[in-house]
Amino acid sequence: MEQLAGIIITIACGCVLPIFGIWWGVRQKMNETNQRTQIILAAIEKNSETDVEDLLKKMAPKKRLLKEKLLSKLLAGCITAFLGAGFIAWGLFLECRGSSGEKGLLMSYFVGAILLSVGIAFFLNFFIGKKMLAKEMEAEEQKALLNS
């Protein structure tokens, strides 16, 4: 019975949860698109001389700047690296106390190593992206200042 519960949890986390997340994201984007369409149709019905292109530009979701995208990667790197370090520290604490079995220690170290690796990958992505996209970020900032 314990093995069956483990298999069900693994299937739920590995298959069902990602499918649900993707479905939720697609559904949210469809709802946003439908709402924008309804607003545009209502504006056209009320005033047929409405400039649709201008209205679409105003209603378009704001695009994130390169700097914002890089900063979100830095944030994700900090969170995952600290979580990974925390799991590893927890494993060391349990090992020193001798209160956990070998399976618990291995799981703590394994999860910690994975999270720490992902965090380091986000850090590398941030620093390499910052270096490679420096000119593009500067141009975006200048463009944003001119538009303001």
pLDDT at residue 119, as a whole number:
95
Say what the pLDDT of residue 139 is: 84
- Locate 6 and state its tokens: 């483990």
Predicted local confidence at residue 2, as pLDDT: 72
For residues 89 and 71, the answer to whether their CB atoms sit within 8 Å is: no
pTM of the model: 0.62
Burial (CB count within 10 angstroms: exposed 0-12, middle 13-18, buried 19+), residue 77 = buried
What angle separates helix 102-132 from helix 134-147, to the nearest 10 degrees? 70
Tokens for 39, please give them: 């607003």
Domain boundaries, given as residue ranges, for the chain? 1-61, 64-148
Q: Are 77 and 122 in contact (CB under 8 A)?
A: yes
DSSP string for residues in 49-65: T--HHHHHHHHSPPPPP
The pair of three-digit structure tokens given for residue 22, joined into one six-digit string: 């993707």
**pLDDT tens digits, the chain, 148 residues: what are they?**
777 777 787 777 778 778 888 999 999 999 988 888 888 888 788 877 777 777 777 777 777 778 888 899 999 999 999 999 999 998 888 888 877 677 778 888 999 999 999 999 999 999 998 888 888 888 888 887 777 6
